[in-house]
């Protein structure tokens, strides 16, 4: 018994001389060993998730992919904790989810301290800058993708270049600054019809 006691004390003394540090800042995800358990060479003791180079995956609709490319800036926000993180798009998935028509986009976060694994966050991607683009109500788009303009109190059909559409707005090119766009349907509208502008 005394031999086992001294052997144990010797091991405890030797263990007290060693402190193990992860080579990065991170968060403990899981612990595989508890105090008093016996471990062997190569056994997993603890799992630590690094705060550096953390990746976030989020779906992007297929129709929006043309505005996203690798390297775009990404900002993440957690509404509950009010914290924010920043990173960049590092890759874009190559498979479309048939149920949502979306593609996974992967962003690497610069400093993910406080970003817990498995958290839901809101992502905003900074796309490319569009010049000379105007936003109009989608109600202004006619069935043939034309719009009605008012020039000198007369209606004129115009076919803009449609860049993108969301639920409420259409983003178009080709308009002159200050153009009057009809944003409500006009019954029996024909080109050249006289109208009065109400502001």
The per-residue pLDDT for 97 is 92
The per-residue pLDDT for 158 is 93
Specify the range with the lowest mean pLDDT, choosing from 1-15, 78-92, 125-139: 1-15
Which CATH number belongs to the domain containing residue 64 in this structure? Answer: 2.40.30.170
Shared domain for 105 and 61, answered yes or no, is yes
Q: What is the pLDDT of residues 167-198, one digit of tens each?
A: 889 999 998 888 889 888 788 888 888 888 77
Shared domain for 174 and 158, answered yes or no, is yes
Specify the range with the lowest mean pLDDT, choosing from 16-25, 89-98, 130-139: 16-25
Structural domain includes residue 141: yes
The per-residue pLDDT for 155 is 92
Structural domain includes residue 192: no
Shared domain for 114 and 59, answered yes or no, is yes
Q: Which has more pLDDT, 178 or 75? A: 75
The per-residue pLDDT for 193 is 86
Structural domain includes residue 193: no
| Parallel, antiparallel or unpaired: strands 154-158 and 122-125 | unpaired
Structural domain includes residue 196: no
What is d(CA 51, CA 32) in angstroms, rounded to the nearest whole number? 21
What confidence tier does 1 reach under pLDDT thresholds 50, 70, 90? low
The total domain count for the chain is: 3
CB 102 within 8 A of CB 96: yes
Angle at 123 between CA 121 and CA 128, to 5 degrees: 175
Shared domain for 173 and 156, answered yes or no, is yes
Q: Which residues 6+ apart lie within 8 Å of 105 measured at CB?
A: 57, 58, 59, 60, 68, 89, 91, 92, 93, 125
The SS3 call for residue 107 is: strand
Structural domain includes residue 99: yes
Specify the range with the lowest mean pLDDT, choosing from 25-29, 49-53, 126-130, 140-144: 49-53
Shared domain for 121 and 143, answered yes or no, is no
Q: What is the pLDDT of residues 122-165, one digit of tens each?
A: 888 988 778 889 999 999 998 888 999 999 989 999 999 998 88
Structural domain includes residue 189: no
Torsion-angle region of 178 (φ positive above 0: left; ψ -120 to 50: alpha; else: beta): left
Shared domain for 35 and 82, answered yes or no, is no
Mean predicted lDDT score pLDDT of the chain: 84
Shared domain for 59 and 117, answered yes or no, is yes
* Domain end position, chosen among 80, 102, 125: 125
Shared domain for 37 and 67, answered yes or no, is no
Shared domain for 61 and 34, answered yes or no, is no
Residue listed under structure tokens 């992967």: 106
Shared domain for 94 and 110, answered yes or no, is yes
Shared domain for 116 and 150, answered yes or no, is no
Structural domain includes residue 173: yes
Range of the domain at 98: 54-125
Residue 105 has pLDDT above 90, yes or no: yes
Structural domain includes residue 67: yes
């Amino acid at each position: 018994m005394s031999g086992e006691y001294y052997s144990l004390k010797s091991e405890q003394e030797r263990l007290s001389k060693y402190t193990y540090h992860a080579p990065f800042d991170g968060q403990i995800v899981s612990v595989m060993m508890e105090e008093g358990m016996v471990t062997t060479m190569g056994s997993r003791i603890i799992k630590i998730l690094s705060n550096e180079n953390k990746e976030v995956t989020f779906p992007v609709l297929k129709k929006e992919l043309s505005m996203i490319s690798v390297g775009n800036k990404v900002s993440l926000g957690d509404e509950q904790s009010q914290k924010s993180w920043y990173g960049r798009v590092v890759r874009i998935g190559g498979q479309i989810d048939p149920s949502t028509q979306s593609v996974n986009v992967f962003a690497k976060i610069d400093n993910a301290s406080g970003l817990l694994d498995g958290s839901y966050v809101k992502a905003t991607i900074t796309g490319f800058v569009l010049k000379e683009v105007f936003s109009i109500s989608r109600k202004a788009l006619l069935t043939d993708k034309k719009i009605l303009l008012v020039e000198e109190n007369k209606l004129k059909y115009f076919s803009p270049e449609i860049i993108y559409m969301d639920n409420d707005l259409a983003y178009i090119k080709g308009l002159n600054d200050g153009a009057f766009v009809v944003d409500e349907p006009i019954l029996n509208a024909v080109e050249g019809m006289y109208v009065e502008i109400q502001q």
